Structure 1
Amino acid sequence: MEYDSQGPILKVLLLIGGNSTATGSPKGLLRHQDGQLAFEHTLNTLHSAVPSASTIYISLQDIIQLSYIEPTLKNIAVRRTTDAEHHEHDDHRPTFPECCPLVNRQDEDIGPAAGLLNAHNIHPESTWLVLSCDYPLLPPSSLQQLILEYQYPVTCFVNEKGIAEPLIGIWGAEALEKLKENGRIGSNDLYAVVEEMKGKLVKPLREEWITPTNTREE
């Protein structure tokens, strides 16, 4: 794994996720109390946690999901250009990263494993910070905790019941290769990979950080 003066060099992956069971809409499009969509909120969290990342990859189930977020992505692109113009002489202010959608092209729905495998196929040697839109209370400081405690090949949070949260994790190339290998025999279980690779489980400083949401009210 590569390191620089700020710590491990990570690629960043946002998982939009499937539909909310309560609303039938993509979880990434649920609106927060501050007016932001869940996926916008998660983008900002990832940017704050890894300001050096030049790109945030966004995993989508299909073209339909892409059409839902395209207007927001266009607004973000305009914002990036404006920020760059306003701060072209400020080397200490990071520009908001480019957003790169990754649409699941696989023949069957294999859940969040599709997003991780798509990202791994693009950058097979990289280590990925992975975050799903399911966790609206997650602050940047929680991801910084995860980065500080990262242990190869995979590290993720664990809840108070001892259940791993692989959608808030850091996945190294070896763990992603294992996920790919398991997929060939019909298993796309992220939890199984964490267990098989003896992944490091990190208890968050605050349990509510890793409480998922599934409804607009939550």
Structure 2
Amino acid sequence: MTIKTNKLYGLILTGGKSKRMGTDKGSLNYHGKTQVEHLYELLEGLTDKTFISCREDQANLDHLKSFPKVLDAFDDLGPSGGILSAFKQDPNASWLVLACDMPYLNRESLVHLIKNRDTNQVATCFFNGEKKWPEPLCAIYEPSSVERINHFVNLGKPCPRKVLMNSDVKILEPLQEKVLLNANTLSDLESFKKEKELSHEA
């Protein structure tokens, strides 16, 4: 059953170049399937629709081609470009934005984020305790965020973290300490797999 306050779409960001990982992060297998497929399944029943955010040259990659997409309409804006492209596709929706490099992210955390969403704020997000800032890539962006994102883009500061740090947002504590950890290197990938194996053996 979809949790609703108003129209909410999911957006899985896969447009990054993944230089440190050396491969497309969305294609990595943490949970017996590609990370894109895993996140898409996590969002099932929580959002009205879910889309993959990617560049046009990625659209027909094997691990992406079967999913509905929002193609990047803005160059060199990073995650903000993906978010703005989503609002360009449907400016009346709110968008639950997820990075594809958070292997510890779970459905329980997404339910918590949605249930505690404040539609009167620019966004609802978690506080990233490791980095000491609001986490921009596991967050719900309301239509009012477009003006704020564009403001920072025009200042030459397209980082969505700066948008959250300088806007009216609702910030939640994550349910688990590791849920927002990024996997940016092959070493991070192996560490996650080893930890998962040990938890299964325990």
Do Structure 1 and Structure 2 share a fold, with TM-score over 0.5?
A: yes
Out of 154, 171, 191, which is 1:201 matched to?
Answer: 171
Encode CA deviations 1:4-52: one digit per residue, 9 max, x unaligned. Answer: x9432312111114233444211111122x431111111111115x1x5
Q: Indicate yes or no: 2:104 matched with 1:101.
A: no
Unaligned runs of 5+ residues in structure 2 are: 193-202
- 8 Å contact kept, 2:93–2:142: yes
TM-score (norm 1): 0.76
Give the Cα–Cα distance (whole angstroms) in 2 for the partners of residues 105 and 149 of structure 1: 31
1:60 equivalent in structure 2:
54
Give the Cα–Cα distance (whole angstroms) in 1 for the partners of residues 20 and 165 of structure 2: 31
2:36 equivalent in structure 1:
39
Aligned-residue sequence identity (percent) comes to 29
TM-score (norm 2): 0.82
Encode CA deviations 1:42-72: one digit per residue, 9 max, x unaligned. Answer: 1111115x1x52x311111341x22224x65
Q: Indicate yes or no: 2:132 matched with 1:160.
A: no
Out of 145, 148, 157, which is 2:112 matched to?
Answer: 145
Identify which range, 179-188 or 115-124, moves more after superposition: 179-188
1:180 equivalent in structure 2:
150
Mapping 1:13-24, distance limit 5 Å: 13-24=11-22
Give the Cα–Cα distance (whole angstroms) in 1 for the partners of residues 126 and 82 of structure 2: 19
1:85 equivalent in structure 2:
none
Q: Indicate yes or no: 2:98 matched with 1:131.
A: yes
Name the Cα RMSD after superposition: 2.2
Give the Cα–Cα distance (whole angstroms) in 1 for the partners of residues 149 and 163 of structure 2: 6
Structure 1 residues 206 and 29, CA, compared in 2 at 3 Å: closer, same or farther? same
Give the Cα–Cα distance (whole angstroms) in 2 for the partners of residues 14 and 29 of structure 1: 12
Encode CA deviations 1:65-102: one digit per residue, 9 max, x unaligned. Answer: 22224x6543xxxxxxxxxxxxxxxxxxxxxxxx3212
SS of 1:164's equivalent?
Answer: strand
- 8 Å contact kept, 1:17–1:134: no
Aligned amino acid, residue 52 of structure 2:
I
Count of aligned positions: 184
Q: Indicate yes or no: 2:23 matched with 1:30.
A: no
- 8 Å contact kept, 1:60–1:66: yes
Give the Cα–Cα distance (whole angstroms) in 1 for the partners of residues 135 and 14 of structure 2: 16
Structure with max Cα Rg: 1
- 8 Å contact kept, 1:155–1:200: yes
